[in-house]
């Protein structure tokens, strides 16, 4: 675990209380197990509904200013979220698929491809904050956000996992970071260690005016054609705000009421009910299609991203 985030004192040096899970995580109240095998792991979390919170996850990642400006100022135009949203969605979801389902060789190949793009993502003299896409602490934060997204969506669909099953679910999560430059030693060893890391790392979350505008453009689907934006804007905005923990919503000035929370959880009760009647190849099919595409690209020697 990065040492600069480990501080087990009850209060910060500035006297403020440490952040706790009720501020840094969404509220999930259902403990009813919903059609899931015992001891699930990340491979069980690749249900397509797990990606309903994708925009919220991006908003969480850019809660660290260095990540935000790395994204907003990126000189890699071909992978820019606001210019090429579908390609960015494909490369991001393919990264998640290979991190969770891929072999060591496939992860290495994808790491090299991403490294080629990341070499151009670094601050210059005009940047308000210093950043470098190869910074392992920034990558650790992004990977932690990705894990939180999978854990939250899985528990929304299947109920809160008891501690032993949650530990098993977390066990292989390090590949979300080690598929890039995060080392195994940096990744918190246990789920309890991860919670300490997460709550402490969230103390660095801050959004300036430019980042807030970027997040609003993201949830308002400014990067896609108007007809699609018109059809899905309200749903995406509702899902995005619902997947954001209270700390993030408050810092982004986003309103979320208790009625909204109940509607959000009831939506996932309904989705979970419908999901149980869908075969796994339908629910997880997108990830396996992305893995086949990756293997085809590797075999043909074509660009991976």
What pLDDT score does 81 carry?
59
Q: For residue 86, is it within any domain? A: no
pLDDT number for residue 219: 80
The pLDDT tens digits for 244-287 are 999 999 999 999 999 999 999 889 988 888 888 888 888 889 99
Within a domain: residue 192?
A: yes
* In a domain? residue 153: yes
- Give 128's contacts (C-beta < 8 A, 6+ positions apart): 65, 69, 208
Go through 102-119 and write b for each residue having 16 or more CB atoms within 10 A of its CB, e for each that does not. beeebbebbbebbeebbe
Q: How confident is the model at residue 34 (pLDDT cuts 50, 70, 90)?
A: low
Domain that residue 192 falls in: 136-201
Torsion angle, alpha carbons of 229, 230, 232, 235, to 10: 120
Kindly state whether residue 119 falls inside one of the protein's structural domains. Answer: no
Asked if residues 89 and 279 have their Cβ atoms less than 8 Å apart, the reply is no
Asked whether 88 and 80 are in contact (CB, 8 A), the reply is yes
Helix (H, G, I), strand (E, B) or coil at 122: strand
More confident residue, 14 or 236: 236
How confident is the model at residue 233, as a pLDDT? 77
Mean per-residue pLDDT for 158-178? 94
SS3 270: helix
- Residues near 22 by beta carbon (within 8 Å), at least 6 away in sequence: 246
Q: Give the count of domains, the chain.
A: 1
Rounded to an integer, what distance in angstroms lies between the CA atom of residue 118 and that of residue 131?
11
Mean pLDDT of the chain: 86
Tell me which of 116 and 78 has the higher pLDDT: 116
Task: Measure the CA–CA gap between 153 and 43, rounded to whole angstroms.
Answer: 13
pLDDT reported for residue 7: 42
**Residue 175, pLDDT score:** 97
Q: Is the pLDDT of residue 1 over 50?
A: no
- Residue 87 belongs to a domain: no
pLDDT at 12 over 80: no
Instruction: Identify the pLDDT of residue 69.
Output: 95
pLDDT recorded at residue 13: 41
Mean pLDDT score, 194-214: 96
> Kindly report the CA angle at 14 between 209 and 139, in degrees rounded to 5?
55
What tokens appear for 123 in the block?
Answer: 């601050």
The answer to whether residue 22 is domain-embedded is no
pLDDT of residue 62: 95
Average pLDDT for residues 99-107, to the nearest whole number? Answer: 96
For residue 164, pLDDT over 90 is answered with: yes
Q: What is the pLDDT of residue 232?
A: 72
Give Dmax (Cα) for the chain: 58
Half-sphere exposure at residue 247, Cβ-oriented, CA atoms within 13 angstroms: 20
Residue 144 included in any domain: yes
In which band, very low, low, confident or very high, does the pLDDT at 11 lie, cut at 50, 70 and 90? Answer: very low
Assess if residue 93 is contained within a domain. no
List the helix and strand counts (H, then E) for the chain: 15, 0
Cα dist from 210 to 191, 223, 229, whole Å: 34, 16, 22
Q: Is the pLDDT of residue 3 over 50?
A: no
Residue corresponding to tokens 């600069």? 4
Res 127: pLDDT: 93
Per-residue pLDDT band at 181 (split at 50, 70, 90): very high
Query: Do residues 156 and 239 lie in contact, with contact meaning Cβ atoms separated by under 8 Å?
Result: no
Global pTM value:
0.90
């Amino acid at each position: 675990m990065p040492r600069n985030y480990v501080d087990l004192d009850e209060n910060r040096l500035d006297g403020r209380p440490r952040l706790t899970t009720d501020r840094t995580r969404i509220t999930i109240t259902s403990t009813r197990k919903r059609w899931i095998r015992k001891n699930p792991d990340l491979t069980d979390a690749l249900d397509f509904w797990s990606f309903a919170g994708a925009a919220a996850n991006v908003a969480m990642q850019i809660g660290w200013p260095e990540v935000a400006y790395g994204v907003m100022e990126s000189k890699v135009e071909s992978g820019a979220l606001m210019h090429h949203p579908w390609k960015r969605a494909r490369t991001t979801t393919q990264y998640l698929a290979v991190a969770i389902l891929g072999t060591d060789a496939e992860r290495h190949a994808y790491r090299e491809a991403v490294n080629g793009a990341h070499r151009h993502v670094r601050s210059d003299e005009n940047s308000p904050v210093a950043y470098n896409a190869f910074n392992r602490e920034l990558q650790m934060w992004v990977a932690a956000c990705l894990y939180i997204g999978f854990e939250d969506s899985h528990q929304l669909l299947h109920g809160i996992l008891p501690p032993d099953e949650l530990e098993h679910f977390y066990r292989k999560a390090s590949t979300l970071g080690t598929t890039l430059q995060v080392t195994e030693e940096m990744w918190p060893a246990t789920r309890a260690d991860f919670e300490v890391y997460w709550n402490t790392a969230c103390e660095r979350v801050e959004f300036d005016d430019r980042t807030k505008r970027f997040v609003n453009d993201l949830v308002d689907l400014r990067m896609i054609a108007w007809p699609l934006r018109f059809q899905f804007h309200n749903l995406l905005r509702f899902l995005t705000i619902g997947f954001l923990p209270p700390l993030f919503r408050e810092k982004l000035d986003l309103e979320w009421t208790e009625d909204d929370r109940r509607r959000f959880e009831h939506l996932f009760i309904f989705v979970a009910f419908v999901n149980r009647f869908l075969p796994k190849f339908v629910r997880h099919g997108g990830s396996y299609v992305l893995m086949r595409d990756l293997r085809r690209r590797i075999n043909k020697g074509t660009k991976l991203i």
